[in-house]
Chain A
């Protein structure tokens, strides 16, 4: 079973709540802004379990969550190495 989320990055406001909520830590904020000047959330879906915590937290309802129940793939137990900081650094 694998999960997949689809984020409407042009409507995302980069609030980062989905980033914090994701228990697999697979959502990050992009370094490239969208047309509105926000740095939207994005993910490669690697390790997504379709728990939908991200969608639950999203104030703009721009995350759709899907689950593929047919496939019986193993969820990667190791976290990805060398993650970039998920949130934009706060001003000192």
Chain B
């Protein structure tokens, strides 16, 4: 199945009650697929008038306790930032899929990774975080969907699934199956009509002296919990590596091929692939930086995740960047070349 359709089907299996979205390339297959499948399952589909409206429809459905999601691509996600901030402030669970394309502005429709900052630094106004998942295969994307809904419900916050146009469009074999849910808290805060109970209010405005500060601290405590428990990354051939390449998403697949070829040439290369981009696998990368080695970060951007790598490495090792912005895609040869250059420059024994 192609990535976009697979993620949609996986969302349905995960119990998504409502999908609201607006067309934008390269994720148009998602609303199209949902428009056909959601009514088949007796669930809700609405093509909204804009991305701005879509995220607010998600807000409404989520406020009543339903599992709601939307998808878009970079410019549309920019429009949704207000809504995402409100969702974070109102503690509403949501899943938002960003199928990244080249930017800034209208950009192009090729896959890109230039929304990393927007996704992991909170994009919208205010001090909040969204959990960000960065799968790198269609199967992993499919596995991310039920996880995203569970995380959103468990922690009452927006969860973003961050892929790029290539992953959205490419076809790979997938296994789709209904997964058991985590043990999740009941949504007694939801707006279901105040019959036989006090009114519930879903809000993000706290004007009283010190109240908003206290609320922010509560969110930060929650984020600390998440940073401890819900962080994943995949290491490969790290133990003896002189060069560790850090990449996520589709780039990690290309890096994987480059590293394998490097090894064949006798270069001791490995990679670490972050799967959660927030929380970032800081500890895993920091530990890897305890040994003498170089970190090469490869992204389809001008360098965004590389800053998190630098923070994790904390000066213990050199961090180098290679990237292709504006919808460009690095090839295996380019990356291999970068690895070779590092070997020569740093006089690491091969």
Q: Do chains A and B touch in the complex (CB under 8 A)?
A: no
- Residues of A at under 8 Å CB distance from B? none
